[in-house]
Structure 1
Amino acid sequence: MYSFHQCGGNVGDSCSIPLPPWLLEEISKNPDLVYTDKSGRRNSEYISLGCDSSPVFGGRTPIPVYTDYMQSFQDRFRDYLGDVIVARYLQQTC
């Protein structure tokens, strides 16, 4: 299971749901994709909203990449939607 927002590793987290490997790979190549505070500390739990219009994924912006990701999920699990799978969340919370 993967999430668009990493869960785990923080105080009170009782689960561990990482970002997708393809996203972690891009972040490792370009750490500026994640939020950085004025002291230089980075939060790599999700990508920065400042990247929404930046073609950082092979010339594509994050929004269509995430859209394709969710469409692929829907296509793959179509037979289970509404019965076995009754909800899908854009952000997993712990």
Structure 2
Amino acid sequence: MARGQDIQIPLVVGSILNLINQGEVLWGAAELFIPHVLLNYPVPFAVSLFSAMQARAQSRPVSTTVRTADVRPVVSARNPGRRTTD
């Protein structure tokens, strides 16, 4: 996600939440409650940031170590002195 989108999402979502939560203020039926207005912006930002971090963590490989087959010398049943690799 681009840096500009990191800020745009909370601004859009926060503004929509303010319209929903403080809509009565627009019609003059209630007074503006500043703490609610201010909390409507960091909450979507935190959710967006958490989601981006989760997506990034899930897209990374767990391990970059290449596993190789366990190759040990095998003693032949016919000839105990002869060693081969399978």
Report the TM-score when normalising by structure 1.
Answer: 0.29
Higher relative contact order (CA 8 A, sep 6+): 1
By percentage of residues, which structure has more helix?
2
Larger Rg: 2
Report the TM-score when normalising by structure 2.
Answer: 0.31
